[in-house]
Amino acid sequence: ASFTADPGRKNPETAIVPRTVAGFFRENKELTCDGVPLSEVARAVGTPVYVYSAAAIEESFRRFDRAFAPVSHLVCYAAKANSNLAILKLLASLGAGADVVSGGELRACLVSGFPAERIVFSGVGKTEEEIRQGVAAGILAFNAESEREIEKIDAEAGRQGKKARVALRVNPDIDAKTHPYISTGLARNKFGVDIGRAREIFEHARRFENVAMTGVQAHIGSQILETAPMEETARELVALAKDLAARGFPIETLDVGGGLGVPAGSSRALSQEEYAAALLPHLEGVPFRILIEPGRSIAARAGALVTRVLYIKQNRGRRFVITDAGMNDLLRPPLYGAIHPIESVGAPRGQTVTADVVGPICETSDFLARDAEIPDAAEGDLLAVLDAGAYGFAMSSNYNFRPRAAEVLVEKGSFRTVRRRETFEDLIRPEAG
Ligand code: LLP
C-alpha cells in the first residue's frame, strides 16, 4: 500500500494517512510523484527541478467544479500561481476558465486553449495595450479596479466597434487574516473600489456606450485559512449584485475571487468541499453565474522543488544544509515567512535534525527553511521542498545570474520536461553588452 507523504509530519515512515489524492507519496521508502521516483527525474533532468503532478491538478480542479455544481458557476484558475503552458493546457482541456492579470497571461491562456469567453482579466494597473488585447479577444469580463479604467475600456471598445463586459472589483474592507503582503480586501489596500461607492460608479457608467456592466467581483487576499471572511465577502457581493440588478444593470456574474489557503506543515487544508459548503448557502438561488478564482489551492500541493545538497556545515552549533536551490528558485520563505515541508527523496536516514536549509545566493535572506526539523541529509542527497507548485517557479528569477530551474510534469506514470532548464545563453540573449 502507498501512503501520502503528508507534508510536515515528523516521521514520514510511520504516518499513515490513506492515499486519497494524487501527488507525492513514499513508495518503497522513495519519494515519488504518482509512481515516478523523484530520484529518476533528478537523474534525467538535473536539479533544481520543479516536479508537478498532472493528476493532482486535475483532482483539485474537478473537486472545485463538482463542489460548486449546485449553482451555475465557472472555476477561473488564477494563472499567476503557475503559468507553465502544460498546466494551462491541462486546465483548459478540463473546461476551466482563467483569471489573468497581464497581457502576457492573457496570451498564454489563449494559446493554451482557454476560450476568451472563459477568461476574466484582473489587475489594478492594466495598460492601454492590455485593455486593447482583452477587448480584441472578447473576454468574459474585465475586473475593473477604478472608474478611470472603465472609461479607458469604453474608449477602446468604441475604437474596436465592440461592447466590452465589465465587472467592478469592490473592496469590502474585510480582514482576510493572512500575511499583510497578500491581504487585499482592507480599505488601506490598493485593490478595488470602496464597496460603498459601487452603486455610484455603476450609475456613472451608464453613460458609457461601449461597456456592459455585467458583474461584481472581490478578492480579499490569498492563503486564507478560515471561511468567515470569505462568507462575509460573498454575502456583501450578493446584496450588492441583487441591488444593481434591481436598478436595471445586466448583472450576469458574481465573482468571489480566490484565496483558499494551503496551510504549512501538517495542518489540514480546508477542502474544496468545505469551502463550497461555507459559500453555497449564500449563493444558492442567486440569479447570477458564480465565478471563483482559485490559484494556490489548485497548484500548490501538486508541485515539489527537488534540490541537491551541496554541502553540510556546522557553525557554532548551528547546522546549515546548503542546497543547489535558492531564493531565486523559491522566494516564498524569505518573502512571506512561508513554511514549506522538506522531505528526503531517498529513504530517510532514520532521524530528523534541526537545521537551516539555505541556498547558494549571497544573501542572508536566502533560505528554504530555518530552524526546521528536517530529515538528516548528507552531501549529494536529494531533498524535496513540498507545496511548491503555486507561486514557486512563477516567482523565480535570474538573481545572481542563475538560470531558472527546469519544470517536469508527471502524467499517467511517466514524466516529461515542460520547461527546459535555462542556459547562460538564454540569460545573455536580451542584453546589448
Ligand atoms: N484572484 C485575484 C484577483 C488575485 O489577485 C489572486 C492572487 C487570486 C485570484 C488567486 O489567489 P489564490 O487562490 O492563489 O490565493 N505570491 C503569493 C500569493 C499572491 C496572490 C496574489 N493574488 C504567495 O506566494 O503566497
Residue 40: CB atoms within 10 A of its CB come to 14
Query: What atom in ligand 1 is closest to the CA of residue 391?
Result: 24
Q: Write the single-letter amino acid at 68.
A: F
* Residue 265 confidence (pLDDT): 65
Identity (one letter) of the amino acid at 114? F
Indicate whether residue 122 lines ligand 1 (CB < 6 A): yes
Say if ligand 1 is within 6 A of residue 78 CB: yes
Where do we find the cell 483569471? 99
pLDDT at 186: 87
> Residues 6 or more apart from 8 whose CB is under 8 A from it?
264, 265, 266, 267, 339, 341
pLDDT of residue 372: 95
Give the three-class secondary structure for 180: helix
Residues in the chain with pLDDT < 50? 1-20
**Nearest by Cα to 405 from 297, 341, 345, 323:** 323
Asked if 166 and 193 touch (Cβ cutoff 8 Å), the reply is no
CA-to-CA distance for 58 and 248, rounded, in angstroms?
39
Beta bridge partners of residue 353, listed in sequence order: 374
| pLDDT (0 to 100) of residue 187 | 86
- Cα–Cα distance for residue pair 185/269, rounded to 1 Å: 22
Q: Which helix (H) or strand (E) holds 307?
A: strand 303-315
Can you tell me the distance from the alpha carbon of 267 to that of 358, in angstroms, rounded to the nearest whole number? 24
Task: Give the model's pLDDT for residue 263.
Answer: 87
Residue nearest to atom 16 of ligand 1 (CA): 391
Q: For 98, what's the count of Cα atoms within 13 Å in the CB-facing half-sphere? A: 35
Q: Measured between alpha carbons, how far is 89 from 175 in angstroms, rounded to an integer?
A: 34
Secondary structure (DSSP) of 189-210: SSSSEEGGGHHHHHHHHTT-SS
User: Which pLDDT belongs to residue 171?
Assistant: 95
Residue 382 amino acid letter: L
Q: How far is the CA of 292 from the centre of ligand 1 (A)?
A: 12
Query: Cα(333) to centroid of ligand 1, in Å?
Result: 16
Query: Phi and psi for 308 in degrees, rounded to 5?
Result: -105, 145
pLDDT tens-digit map of 160-171:
999 999 999 999
Ligand 1 pocket mutation pick from 60, 121, 222 by most atoms within 8 angstroms of CB: 222
Residue 305 and residue 381 in contact, taking contact as beta carbons nearer than 8 Å:
no
The x, y and z cell numbers of residue 350, run together, are 532514520
User: Strands (DSSP E) along 110-209, which ranges?
Assistant: 119-121, 141-144, 164-171, 193-194
- Report the separation in Å between the CA atom of 220 and the middle of ligand 1, taken as the mean of its atom positions: 9
pLDDT at 268: 76
- What was the pLDDT predicted at 3? 37
Cα 84 to middle of ligand 1, angstroms: 16
Q: What CA–CA distance (Å, rounded) separates 296 from 220?
A: 14
Least Cα distance to 85 among 63, 65, 109 occurs for: 109
Give per-residue pLDDT as tens, 263-272: 876 667 889 9
Is the torsion defined by CA of 230, 232, 233, 238 positive or negative? Answer: positive
User: Ligand 1 in contact with 81 (CB < 6 A)?
Assistant: yes
* Residue 242 burial (CB count, 10 A): 15
Model pTM? 0.95
Phi/psi at 205 (nearest 5 deg)?
A: -70, -10
Report the C-alpha gap between 429 and 105 in whole angstroms. Answer: 22
C-alpha count within 13 angstroms, C-beta hemisphere, residue 36: 25
> Which triple of cell numbers denotes residue 22?
494524487
Active site residues: 362
